[in-house]
Amino acid sequence: MGSENSHKIKLLKLMELFRQETDEQHPMLASVVCEKLAERGVPCDRRTLSRDIKVLNDNGYEVMSTMIGHEKAYYVEDRSFAMPELKVLIDAVQAASFITEKKTAELIDKIADLGGSNRAQILKDNMVCFNTRKHSNESIYYNVGFLEEAIQRQKKVIFYYHDLNENGERVYRLKGHHYVVEPIALVFNEDNYYLVSYSSRHGSTSNYRVDRMSCVEIIDEDITEVAISLREDVCEYTEQVFKMYRGEPIEVTLQFTEKLIGSVYDKFGEGVKMARTGDDAIQATVKVQIAPTFWGWLFQFGTNMRIIAPISVPNEYRKQLSDLIS
């Protein structure tokens, strides 16, 4: 039994070595394989190595062989992630402001290691520099974990919620008292995580930025049937809540110059129907919530975009402009 277990451990160590340190461009000589296994406390010689590799291949592992000079070398090409996929994941972690500098470094190491040591070094040597202002709140990462667990278990959560004053100091809402809510979903929007929740006490939904939550705990109270039913419509809800601010959902017709076609697709999706109404005039009807964030998005384009319908919205648009410059 001991010999059988030792052989299983040897096969595991062998496959681990191949996955970590070999690929098609970096095959490992049989003699080097035996040396590295010996360093890991696993006895090996070339005769038994060939048999071990045959066992791995017979069980679905694709260990490839090639010749380097007069000696056989081995490598594993099959990876769970291709290099471009690992690159995208690393870039996403670097660009995410809610992930702290410390956690960013840890995650990049883990993602890069999925490609083996040779690819890991290439990935790290070719990382893109992102001008991202990283959060310093280490608890964000753990808050997401607690909230995901609560959502899965359909349990209420308790936490404290704060804003920041002009000195960057925390100012807790509810005069420092805690919130108790029924979690519905976690939403990633505009570089931040938000908790979409329901309050049976107030009979309404609310959104909370996860980086402004502290002392998050799961309490042993089931969420209500109302909260459970709201989960079914969470995708529609998050689409309607334009950048996480409330407002009246309404269809508006926008007219804009040709150079803003990309901006409209970026904001409302590539399913938006557009129609050309002039040499440099495009129209599109989209569903938005009339709220401060919508006006902010619209104002950035100046005279290159305007609302033409319904008539009540252009009137509100003029009022917002007037309030802005008065």
pLDDT, tens digit, 9 for 90 and up, residues 54-92 = 888 887 778 888 999 888 999 887 556 677 777 878 888
| CA-wise closest residue to 284 among 315, 263, 314, 312 | 263
Residues 6+ apart with CB under 8 A from 98: 135, 140, 191, 192, 193, 210, 211
Give one DSSP letter per residue of 285-325, joined into a string.
EEEEEESHHHHHHHHTTGGGEEEEESTHHHHHHHHHHHHHH
117-133 core/surface letters (b: 16 or more CB in 10 A; e: else):
eebbeebeeeeeeeeee
Give yes or no for residue 2 having a pLDDT over 60: no
Across 138-152, average pLDDT: 88
Mean pLDDT for the stretch of residues 184-193: 82
Q: Is the pLDDT of residue 244 over 50?
A: no
Measured at the alpha carbon of residue 180, what is the angle toward residues 233 and 243, in degrees to the nearest 5? 45
CA angle 168, 172, 173 (to 5 degrees): 130
- Angle between helix axes 116-125 and 101-113 (nearest 10 degrees) is 140
Q: Per this entry, what is the length of the chain?
A: 326
What is the residue-averaged pLDDT of the chain? 83
